[in-house]
Amino acid sequence: MKAATPEEKRDAIDSFADYLEPTLEVVGRSELERWAECPMQASLIESGKEGPLPGFVDAGELCHQALGTAIQTWIDFNASIGPQGIREALEQSLRGTRPDLQPQVIAAARASIWNFSHFLAGINPVNILKFDGGHERQSGQLAMDIPTAGVRYAGEVDFLWSGPVRGVLQLEDWKSGWRFFRGYDVYQSFQFQSYACLILDNYEKIDAVEVRVWNTRHGTKTYPVLFERRHLDQYMSRIYSALQVRYENRENPKPTPTEEKCSRCRVALHCPASGEIGDAMKDPKAHLRRLIVLQAAIKQELKLLKAVEKQSGPIELETGERFASEHKSKPKAQLIVPKGGKKVEEENDDDSDEGSEG
């Protein structure tokens, strides 16, 4: 039989071109959330400016892996080991993590080991749908196609299972850091609205997703928060908006600085909003000089803003930050930020004005 020439192969492929699924760009949930929060931050991280992650990030990932190992053990033993067996599997996995991070990993999970073991022991393995560390169909990975944006949106859930309420799936999420999550944080979260969209897209007969966050370091969990299919348009609109921001800023990203966001940004030193200086380890003296200049600049900005505020009243941004004076015997000008942020204050002494972070 005569082999087809390269031209004949191309012609055959072209004849089926209309039937082939278009190639979609895979965009991860955490990646898109960064674009939604600050395009400049997302661009700098994608270009490799972030550098090594802090130890607590690696410790959190190892904590998740240990929980996943315990879940897999429960499945492999077909629910025959009980809470004590789950606890032993989890503790063994925690102790076997990286030696340099083992104490941090154990501390991140210790307070929730007992609750987690008894919780998992009450779930039939056949009702476990997906989890972080699962294999094949039980992998925590979920994806949905958004053809209008040319995107396949993907994310990984920690633990998805089918509970006692018909038409409702249960999503458990492990948070091993110091931040304490509450129900309100869950409902407002880009992360969990995204997970709701991914789950509802993949499980078409489901009416709602019930989410609980486990504060594993604190030994607590939130009340269940319900994400209903009837509100799917609201959740999806947030994803579409974030994709639009990403599209508009890919070539020329712009920073969207706020005190709260910038204070926890790991690429802030490379941001044009603050000016770029070389790596601190290579030239620490340059960073010290810059710090001195920045502190002096902050004091001057506080004085200028206080003068404007005294004449024209409080200064407020559309993002929620405002500059105002407290009317006391010893007035103090301060930058007031939305809940969760820090204040930058200026004390008015008899001799001088000192700026400090409160």
Write down the pLDDT at residue 279: 56
Please tell me the number of Cα atoms within 13 Å of 65 on its side-chain side. 16
Contact 165, 228 (CB under 8 A): no
Please tell me the number of Cα atoms within 13 Å of 77 on its side-chain side. 16
Write down the pLDDT at residue 22: 57
Contact 304, 353 (CB under 8 A): no
Nearest-angstrom CA–CA distance, 354 and 357: 10
Q: Confirm whether pTM is higher than 0.75.
A: no
Q: Which two tokens stand for residue 218?
A: 């604190």
How far from the centroid of its chain's Cα atoms is residue 34's Cα? Answer: 8
Nearest-angstrom CA–CA distance, 292 and 290: 5
Write down the pLDDT at residue 4: 53
Write down the pLDDT at residue 80: 95
The CATH number of the domain covering residues in 24-249: 3.90.320
Phi, psi of 207, rounded to the nearest 5 degrees: -90, -25
Percent of the chain scoring above 70 in pLDDT: 80
Write down the pLDDT at residue 70: 98
Q: Which two tokens stand for residue 193?
A: 């609205």
Q: Work out whether strand 168-175 and strand 220-221 pair parallel, antiparallel, or are unpaired.
A: unpaired
Domain boundaries, the chain: 24-249, 301-357
Choose among 24, 50, 46, 51: nearest CA to 253: 46
Name the stretches of the chain with pLDDT < 50: 1, 6, 9-10, 12-20, 276-278, 327-332, 342, 344-358
In degrees to the nearest 10, what's the CA dihedral of 294, 300, 302, 308?
-140
pLDDT tens for residues 285-308? 777 776 776 776 787 788 888 888
